[in-house]
Chain A
């Protein structure tokens, strides 16, 4: 019974990693850029939700709407970041764009320290519903259930969007060959904007779910969570959407089982150890394909 509890915990954390990892991997797939500011979009989503919940409640609206507000805000922030910071550097050496991404990350952290102070703020518990009881001494908290189900729905929906819709197909075309995609009449700039919007929107959902489970918001919270999710994306194969999902979930489960059965201080070591092993055997990650070098 304890094992099942630990597994469910792992899937909960893993779902959050997966949602964030999807943002890293989608952006990488389309512009070949590791958006190091992506983790900070989670932090921004947390503060947006934190700020907007009291407003919603006092206006007599459901606090659940904070998820929508956070998604919209982060999607706009993602698109704006791409437009202002990354688009002018398209075609520039990769290292310049990478440094810009780190710059955006530091800028966001410091901006939010200025606005909200560096001290952690408690996140309002608006998901205060009774847990789901599954037999004696075994219950799943509402936040856990919501996190797992919502992530599952989002991932299935995203997979459908990418595989079946015209916009999704054009995103795949741009990620494979932007020049050829342009020749098809695909507006590459718009496609990139949409990718950033979706990735950042997913980070906002992850943010509200994460803050509801660990109810503290602070300006640097994006670094750790962002790094974990980035590693999950690399683990699954950066640029591969199913890879991010599986990588995130696996990482969450391994972390949770290590904390429960080996040692809570060892969890990072075990997770990174597995990552190193996987990359030694398969350098492109679990779902990665061998990259053909263009001559």
Chain B
């Protein structure tokens, strides 16, 4: 479904991502783990068009994304939940969800999908008229995911959904990711919380200072000594 081929990304003189290859297949949860500054977010930004790579290819359902504008990438079926959630704090919960459906035009279908989101996240329904900035961290993360789902994507990119949340909320958010995946949504998950990310994933990639150093089945990565030592604190 998504294929990243020999991706290189630089910020000025800093070469942040060195020839990364990765693949996401239909129906999978793929986790990309690594320490702070390893280049995980940079890879996601390149996929969704926020950052132009210096070379390489990003192919989504047979189409190259590298020179495509972000709003067109979204229309192709790729939704990105950014790091730090970035909900529109000065807009209501409902307006945030409406913005998620910005590229869609059928009000009837949008309404139905919004009800589905409210059904999945009852707390968002309670707070639909409230300014999104007044929500708690966990609710904001739910809103960010709900907002991305409103575009009816085929592939969901999630950047550090556990950031700043308590362990209970992290579990709740990860349960939601699994549920969403069970409805057929393909997920590419970027996380520092390696244990959680690998425990729900089908496959994983380990990124270290811009290079993929390990990849494979998520279960075998959890058992891998190098992963255990570097990322699981064992």
Contact = CB atoms under 8 A, between A and B. Distances in A.
Contacts of B90: 172, 176
B86 A180 contact: yes
A177 B147 CA distance: 15
Interface in A158-179: 166, 169-170, 172-173, 176-177, 179
Contact of A176 (B49, B91, B98, B102): B91
B75 A183 contact: no
Contacts of B99: 169-170, 173, 181, 184, 186
A119 interface: no
A167 B148 CA distance: 19
Given A173-B88, A176-B90, A177-B88, A185 B82 contact: no
A133 to B, nearest CB: 46
B234 to A, nearest CB: 32
Interface string B99-131: 110110000000000000000000000000000
Given A166-B102, A169-B98, A177-B86, A182 B91 contact: no
Contacts of A183: 48, 50, 70, 74, 79-80, 82, 86, 148
B151 interface: yes
Interface residues of A, number: 17
A184 B97 CA distance: 10
Interface string B59-75: 00000000001110011
A51 interface: no
- Chain A CB within 10 Å, residue with most, of B48, B49, B98, B99: B99
Nearest to A190: B71
A179 B95 contact: no
Contact of B91 (A169, A179, A186, A188): A169
Interface in A188-226: 188
B89 interface: yes
B131 to A, nearest CB: 11
Select the residue from A169, A172, A183, A186 with max chain B CB neighbours within 10 A.
A183
Contacts of A186: 71, 99, 102
A187 interface: yes
A176 B131 CA distance: 13
Contacts of B69: 187
A166 B82 contact: no
Interface string A217-238: 0000000000000000000000
Given A166-B98, A169-B98, A179-B86, A185 B91 contact: no
A173 B69 CA distance: 18
Contacts of B98: 166, 169
A180 B100 CA distance: 10
A184 B49 CA distance: 12
Contacts of A176: 88-91
A186 B90 CA distance: 17
A214 B88 CA distance: 43
Nearest to B80: A183
Contacts of A185: 70-71, 74-75, 102-103, 151
18 contacts: A166-B98, A166-B102, A169-B98, A173-B88, A173-B99, A176-B90, A179-B50, A179-B86, A180-B82, A182-B49, A182-B70, A182-B71, A183-B74, A184-B147, A185-B74, A185-B75, A186-B102, A188-B71
Interface of A: 166, 169-170, 172-173, 176-177, 179-188
Top 10 A-B residue pairs of the complex, sorted by shortest distance between their CB atoms: A185-B74, A185-B103, A180-B86, A182-B70, A185-B71, A184-B99, A184-B102, A183-B80, A185-B102, A187-B71
